[in-house]
Amino acid sequence: MNLITIDTLKTLLAITSSEYDSTFNLLIPIVSNDVRRILNNNFNEPVECTITSGSNIIEDIYNINSVYGNIPAERRFKNTLNGNIKLNNGLDIGRIIVSDSFPDETYITAYDEYNAKVTVSNNATADGTELITSIPLGFLPTIAKMVWFKAGGVSSNTIGNEVKSKSMGVVSVTYETSINKKWNYPQNLINDLGTPLMRVN
């Protein structure tokens, strides 16, 4: 599952031509995987719910683990803030949700924790019973810059081990930061992603 669409990538980079589409289509899944590894988070957390075609309100939200039997039924919850089960990628405002019932990059605009429902940015195109909680909407500009940085055939302006800018055609992105040697991205982009998820065995 890619964390950004090529249309959003090109919009954020102000690219209108299709000249680099093949490069972007190759790099988007690579960078998506890198983001998951950097943050130790698959951004693929299933949630049971009720999705109604034509509506932008998702109701009856439950953690899918209780449905699968991994968590006792009595711990089933109707919200992510005060319930006994907390999602790693909660149903917070700005969270992108993934579902066959919604367009790509649909995100949460409001939540009603008491009644176990959220409002999202698009109307559903079909009924559904499950969604996936993905990345926060604010990650998209950073991911776009990461794809840009990885793009092959770019020219770069470097000083020592610092990358000042990279350009492709008429578009240029300035970084002015050192490269993280573990992940091979500018450190400021790694910082923008935030803190990795801590997992307890």
Q: What is the pLDDT along the chain (201 residues), one digit of tens a residue?
A: 899 999 999 999 999 989 889 999 999 999 999 999 999 999 988 888 899 999 999 988 765 544 444 544 444 444 444 444 567 788 889 999 999 999 999 999 998 877 778 999 999 999 999 899 999 999 999 999 999 988 854 444 443 445 556 665 555 666 555 888 889 888 889 999 988 876 554
Parent domain of 11: 6-41+139-193
Cβ atoms of 50 and 129 within 8 Å: the answer is yes
Q: Are residues 143 and 125 in the same domain?
A: no
Q: Are residues 125 and 71 in the same domain?
A: yes
Cβ atoms of 118 and 131 within 8 Å: the answer is no
Q: Are residues 67 and 116 in the same domain?
A: yes
Side-chain half-sphere of 119: how many Cα atoms within 13 Å?
Answer: 4
Q: Is 192 exposed, middle or buried (0-12, 13-18, 19+ CB in 10 A)?
A: middle
Q: Is there a domain that residue 201 lies in?
A: no
User: How many structural domains is the chain composed of?
Assistant: 2
Taking Cα atoms as reference points, which of 130, 146, 136 lies closest to residue 180? 146
Q: Are residues 88 and 65 in the same domain?
A: yes
Side-chain half-sphere of 147: how many Cα atoms within 13 Å?
Answer: 30
Q: Is there a domain that residue 25 lies in?
A: yes
Please say which residue of 109, 136, 163 terminates a domain.
136
* Residue spans of alpha helices (H) in 4-138: 6-12, 21-39, 64-68
Q: Are residues 16 and 81 in the same domain?
A: no
Q: Cα 92 to chain center, whole Å? A: 13
State how far the Cα of 100 lies from the Cα of 74, in Å rounded to an integer.
29
C-alpha distances in angstroms, 157 versus 151, 173, 190?
15, 11, 20
Q: Is there a domain that residue 159 lies in?
A: yes
Q: Are residues 184 and 161 in the same domain?
A: yes
Q: Is there a domain that residue 169 lies in?
A: yes
